[in-house]
Amino acid sequence: QVTSDVLVYSTSLNYKPVPTGNPVVVRSSPATVPIECHYPRRSNVSSNGVRPTWVPFHSTLSSKEKLPFSLHLMNDDWSTERDSTTFQLGEVLHFQARVNAENHVPLRLFVDSCVATPTPDRSSSPQYTFIDFSGCLVDGQLDDATSTFISPRPRQDVLQFAVDVFKFAGDSSNLIYITCHLKVSLADQAPDPLNKACSFSKTSNLWTPLEGTQDVCSCCKMRSC
């Protein structure tokens, strides 16, 4: 198309996935990506090939994929992932939760709950929930614990928290499996009772939010959020 000012080349990239494996299910969607290149009619034009820096279909595909969450045990200074998963009573577990939000709008990560069990089955017994009620670090209320969320966050998509090492009474295996539920909200969304990170301060005897107003933690005291 030629206008008074520009020359426009238009085309479309069409992606039509072919079902593989089980024909009953599909794992990708067809897509059409329109592309337009605009060249000024009155200007110097280079003969070098066009090298687009944005890959439309890749970006579209990535935005439809599930968010990759991760949870790691870190060393004491939070610089690297801890090599060993063996601890002694009296030590501290340093957890770092993260979400890769590279192809999404800015997100803020929260830990909804964490439960410890003697087997990988999170419904097994006995069990101990040390983060509960949509982000209340209830372990910090115990007299022999200093568990807390680490302030400030390294980034909005990262959340760090420290929990004093514990074991199940009478369990000779000394194995503990930890399962956490991670979630995100928009980074510009104010924390609320369902999206928060609250630690208990023994000095003030109050629940304190990592960010947001004090009232977002009030339901931690009520143990119902």
**What pLDDT score was predicted for residue 170?**
86
25: confidence class by pLDDT, cuts 50, 70, 90: low
Of the options 3.40.640.10, 3.30.390.10, 2.60.40.4100, 2.60.34.10, the CATH number for the domain spanning 69-81+88-222:
2.60.40.4100
Q: 130: Cβ–Cβ under 8 A, 6 or more apart, which residues?
A: 114, 115, 116, 137, 138, 139, 147, 163
Give me the residue label for tokens 């017994």: 125
Least confident of 20-34, 81-95, 194-208: 20-34
Whether residue 44 is predicted with pLDDT greater than 60 in this model: the reply is no
More confident residue, 192 or 64: 192
Q: Indicate if the alpha-carbon torsion angle 159, 160, 163, 165 is positive or negative.
A: positive
Q: For residues 151 and 198, what is the distance between their CA atoms, to the nearest angstrom?
A: 11
Residue 164 · residue 139 · CB < 8 Å = yes
Average pLDDT, the chain: 89
- Check residue 98 and report its DSSP letter: E
**What pLDDT score was predicted for residue 206?**
96
Q: How far is CA 134 from CA 3, 194, 205, in A?
A: 57, 5, 20
**What pLDDT score was predicted for residue 54?**
56
**What pLDDT score was predicted for residue 205?**
95
Distance between start and end Cα atoms, the chain:
59
Average pLDDT over residues 104-121: 95
**What pLDDT score was predicted for residue 94?**
98
Residue type, 109: L
pLDDT (tens digit, 9 = 90+) per residue, 154-166?
999 999 999 999 9
**What pLDDT score was predicted for residue 103?**
74
216: confidence class by pLDDT, cuts 50, 70, 90: very high
Query: Dihedral angle at the C-alpha atoms of 156, 100, 98, 85, nearest 10 degrees?
Result: -160
Query: Dihedral angle at the C-alpha atoms of 94, 212, 153, 166, nearest 10 degrees?
Result: 0
Average pLDDT over residues 184-188: 95
Q: For residues 96 and 152, what is the distance between their CA atoms, to the nearest angstrom?
A: 13
**What pLDDT score was predicted for residue 52?**
58
CA angle, 115 then 120 then 121, to 5°: 75
Whether residue 21 is predicted with pLDDT greater than 70 in this model: the reply is no
**What pLDDT score was predicted for residue 46?**
57
Average pLDDT over residues 142-147: 92
Percent of the chain with pLDDT over 70: 85
Report domain extents, the chain. 6-40, 69-81+88-222
Average pLDDT over residues 105-113: 95
